[in-house]
Structure 1
Amino acid sequence: MAAYIKDLSIRWADLDPNFHLRHTAYYDFAAQARIDLLHSIGLTVHFMQQAEFGPVLFREECIFRREIRYGDSIQLTSKLKKARQDFSRFSIQHDFIRNDGTVCAILTIDAAWINTRIRKLTLPIIEDKTILEAMPKTDDFEWVQ
């Protein structure tokens, strides 16, 4: 998979008083795309609930380059930017791209996995680690320590 792609529909409620996409909408769209990406590789919400683990964010940052306005056709791509070999920590990059190819925003998160019962960091409880290795990666993807 080259990238996980979602087509976005900008709603009136997503706009701010300047009639462009409000900053919190970027974060909402990216959060949904991450869960959908995990679902697409087999890490469904139901599976994570049963295994008592889920993603937890350490950092979330958005670089705003161009306005997104009501009626714009936007694709949101999601790719793994970096990860530890055991996938205990990872970063995902989301690019908000207008249909003319303009990158309007780049949102990056740094995350890990939490045991949802004992509320402590954990390794992802997945028998087949190739599931996570199958995630689409950025061109500058790197394995980190």
Structure 2
Amino acid sequence: MSNASQINQNWQNGDPHPQRSDLSVRNVSFTGFWIENSEKFSFKSSFNQTERQKKSAGSFLIGSTMSDIKVEADSAINTIPDNDFNPTVRYSGGKFTTLTVMPGYTHNFILKQLFLNTTLAAGIGLQWQKYPFEGKQVRNTQIELH
């Protein structure tokens, strides 16, 4: 926690930061890419390093990600009032599932034994949210840019 002195007035710089043993976060994500030019371009050579690409080449790509994040705590997570939360609301967790699609372009530059990969992908995603708020279960869907 970066705001340890707000949580514990006796906290001094250099003291261990407060920790929450009741707080758990689970994040499961799957990401996949379709590479158009897989004959001349190798994504594996840059990221897995299980292949070797001999000449500079690039490819258009489409990426997709599905992530599922679950946050749980026995008590309120937000105990410090700020501009985004009403100080009387006690947020104690939630579940957030996101599905994104991102078209883009990737290129491997090969210079003898040195290689450099540049990848640019941008897209849109949907996030389904489920969390308790003021004693009620809130379900919300929102569009996100990635």
Q: TM-score, normalised by structure 1?
A: 0.26
Q: Which has the larger radius of gyration?
A: 2
Q: Whose RCO is larger (CA < 8 A, sep 6+)? A: 1
